[in-house]
């Protein structure tokens, strides 16, 4: 899914694309011809990043006399409206005077700029890529928009800006809600300068203050919309991934074999099951031809990481006769670290010699090595015989729902009060009791909660775990990576 499809291909002139983050997912990633001749914009997506992308094409059409003015106009407009700018150069053509001119403008830009060296497919454009370092816009991202290569690197470059922006939004939202809370508290009783009376607020005050209703139900965003659920089947070579995908798709689209090394190129397949749409992201790279033995593991890690990032739910496929070895656990941890929902599929159940011991080992390993995501579902199946597939897909849907879980602010704060009462916060290093004043869910996918407190650095890890597992149990998010962000308030 390329955010820069049409424009970045044929042209050799400088291009500026700008990106504005959007909450919620956008279904499309194409750049459509837009309202004006010079500016095209569309919703875009790169894995889990959703944004509006503005393509300031048309620079190369203008004559030199108007070029400067138009460039400035377009650039200025894109820069004031966007959160990040991507400057594209044609790596094959090298850095042109126009690129250099553009870079001068962009170095003074009020937003971050990511330099993208396009047309680097298959390692081409090296010369231009190295020249691009000289533009003073940081490390260029080598990419091939036409071939869809390098999107992972672009993703990595964009991600920190996205996260920072989202955290800022969440903070602004929470600050506003917090101010409203204080205002409500001030009417009810006196609030000390440090907001101490907030502790005395009744949960009802909190509900009134943040303007939410009294609905105590946990709201799960039902992703029944048009967007397919992105699923990656990941695992060591030979655990049966291709066989499983063949089965799920109901036809022999991929080649399978007893030896690792069978390949396929397509990166994703759309498909329906139980009335829902899914997109299967393949980890074809695991079986790439270019296998240099000692780099196989490295290759596996890189390709698996790619697939994980493209997916929402990852099915980690195990071989029932060799479950949860080191590589299995590495992949499971990658899934969790990337904040994706995880389902464990114990494949080759038909050929499993000791089923009891196998399940016990899966459970033990999850408990000892993945304790931070307690409750990951595991499903036994035989891809070969087509058994257990329904259960597997049900588990995928289940974790997808949990991964999209949204907890209302009122319910969250009521819950927080209970947690704080059950286990009062310890004293901070300054000798005074720590206080968590307020919590709000900053984002979903994975569920991320912002907590506003005094001296976050003093909060012991054990208390963080207490809160995380409390959230997981009380809001039905078993097996889901939950993130907590602590922000300092007085």
Q: Can you say which residues are annotated as belonging to the binding site for GTP?
A: 55-59, 118-121, 235-242, 282-286, 347-350
Instruction: Read off the DSSP letter of residue 486.
Output: E
Of 163, 173, 101, 67, which is closest to residue 452 (Cα–Cα)?
173
Half-sphere exposure at residue 60, Cβ-oriented, CA atoms within 13 angstroms:
15
Of 73, 32, 72, which is closest to residue 53 (Cα–Cα)?
32
Interface residues toward ligand GDP, by CB under 6 A? 235, 237-243, 256-258, 260, 262, 287, 347-348, 350-351, 382-384
| 138 Cα distance to chain centroid | 24
The backbone torsions φ and ψ at residue 15, rounded to the nearest 5 degrees and listed phi first, read -135, 145
Q: Least distance (Å) from ligand GDP to the CB of residue 240?
A: 3
By beta-carbon proximity to ligand GDP, the closer residue of 70 and 288 is: 288
By beta-carbon proximity to ligand GDP, the closer residue of 56 and 347 is: 347
By beta-carbon proximity to ligand GDP, the closer residue of 111 and 384 is: 384
Q: Least distance (Å) from ligand GDP to the CB of residue 256?
A: 4
Cα(71)–Cα(75) distance, integer angstroms = 6
* CB 94 within 8 Å of CB 131: yes
Binding residues: 55-59, 118-121, 235-242, 282-286, 347-350
Q: Least distance (Å) from ligand GDP to the CB of residue 238?
A: 4
Residue facing ligand GDP at closest CB distance: 240
By beta-carbon proximity to ligand GDP, the closer residue of 221 and 260 is: 260
By beta-carbon proximity to ligand GDP, the closer residue of 129 and 234 is: 234
The H or E element containing residue 470 is: helix 461-474
Q: Least distance (Å) from ligand GDP to the CB of residue 235?
A: 6
Structure tokens at 37: 């001749």
Q: Least distance (Å) from ligand GDP to the CB of residue 148?
A: 22
Q: Least distance (Å) from ligand GDP to the CB of residue 230?
A: 19
Q: Least distance (Å) from ligand GDP to the CB of residue 335?
A: 16
Cα(78)–Cα(75) distance, integer angstroms = 5
For the residues of 52-77, what is the DSSP string, one character each? EEEE---GGGS-HHHHHHHHHHHHHH
Q: Least distance (Å) from ligand GDP to the CB of residue 285?
A: 11
Cα(359)–Cα(377) distance, integer angstroms = 12
Of 286, 209, 303, 298, which is closest to residue 240 (Cα–Cα)?
286
Q: Least distance (Å) from ligand GDP to the CB of residue 273?
A: 18
* CB 300 within 8 Å of CB 292: no
By beta-carbon proximity to ligand GDP, the closer residue of 11 and 391 is: 391
Straight-line distance from the first to the last Cα atom of the chain, in angstroms, rounded to the nearest whole number: 44
By beta-carbon proximity to ligand GDP, the closer residue of 248 and 336 is: 248
By beta-carbon proximity to ligand GDP, the closer residue of 380 and 408 is: 380
Cα(316)–Cα(330) distance, integer angstroms = 11
* CB 66 within 8 Å of CB 57: no
Of 286, 236, 281, which is closest to residue 262 (Cα–Cα)?
286
Angle at Cα 373 formed by Cα 388 and Cα 168, nearest 5°? 125
Non-local (6+) Cβ contacts of 136 within 8 A are: 103, 107
By beta-carbon proximity to ligand GDP, the closer residue of 143 and 245 is: 245
């Amino acid at each position: 899914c390329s955010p820069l499809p049409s424009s970045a291909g044929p042209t050799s002139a400088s291009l500026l694309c700008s990106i504005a983050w959007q909450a919620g997912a956008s279904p499309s990633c194409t750049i459509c011809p837009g309202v004006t001749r010079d500016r095209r914009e569309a919703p875009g997506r790169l894995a889990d990043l959703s944004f509006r992308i503005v393509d300031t094409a048309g620079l190369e059409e203008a004559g030199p006399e108007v070029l400067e003015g138009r460039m400035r106009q377009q650039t200025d407009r894109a820069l004031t409206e966007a959160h990040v700018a991507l400057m594209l150069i044609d790596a094959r053509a090298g850095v042109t005077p126009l690129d250099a001119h553009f870079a001068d403008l962009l170095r003074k830009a009020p937003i971050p700029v990511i330099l993208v060296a396009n047309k680097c497919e298959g390692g081409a454009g090296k010369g231009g890529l190295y020249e691009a370092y000289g533009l003073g816009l940081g490390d260029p991202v080598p990419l091939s928009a036409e071939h869809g290569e390098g999107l992972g690197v672009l993703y990595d470059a964009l991600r920190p800006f996205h996260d920072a922006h989202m955290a800022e939004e969440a903070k602004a939202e929470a600050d506003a809600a917090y101010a409203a809370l204080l205002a409500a508290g001030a009417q009810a009783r006196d609030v000390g300068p440090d907001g101490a009376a907030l502790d005395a607020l009744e949960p009802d005050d909190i509900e009134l203050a943040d303007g939410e209703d009294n609905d105590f139900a946990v709201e799960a965003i039902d992703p029944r919309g048009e967007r397919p659920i992105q699923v990656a089947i990941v695992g060591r070579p030979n655990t049966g991934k291709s066989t499983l995908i063949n089965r799920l798709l109901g036809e022999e689209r991929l080649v399978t074999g007893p030896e690792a090394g069978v390949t396929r190129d397509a990166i994703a397949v759309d498909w329906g099951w139980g009335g829902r749409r899914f997109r299967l992201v393949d980890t074809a790279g695991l079986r790439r031809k270019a296998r240099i033995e000692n780099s196989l593991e490295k290759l596996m890690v890189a390709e698996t990481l790619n697939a994980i990032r493209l997916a929402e739910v990852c099915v980690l496929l195990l071989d029932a006769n060799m479950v949860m070895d080191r590589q299995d656990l590495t992949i499971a941890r990658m899934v969790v670290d990337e904040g994706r929902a995880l389902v464990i599929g114990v494949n080759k159940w038909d050929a499993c010699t000791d089923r009891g011991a196998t399940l016990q080992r899966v459970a033990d390993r999850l408990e000892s090595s993945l304790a931070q995501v307690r409750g990951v579902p595991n499903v036994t199946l035989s891809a070969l015989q087509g058994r257990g597939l329904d259960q597997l897909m049900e588990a995928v849907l289940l974790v997808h729902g949990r991964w999209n879980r949204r907890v209302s602010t009122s319910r969250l704060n009521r819950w927080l009060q209970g947690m704080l009462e059950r286990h009062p916060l310890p004293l901070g290093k300054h000798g005074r009791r720590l206080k968590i004043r307020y919590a709000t869910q900053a984002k979903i996918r994975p569920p991320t909660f912002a907590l506003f407190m005094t001296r976050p650095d003093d909060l012991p890890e054990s208390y963080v775990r207490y809160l995380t597992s409390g959230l997981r149990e009380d809001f039905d998010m078993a097996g889901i990576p939950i993130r907590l962000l602590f922000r300092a308030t007085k």
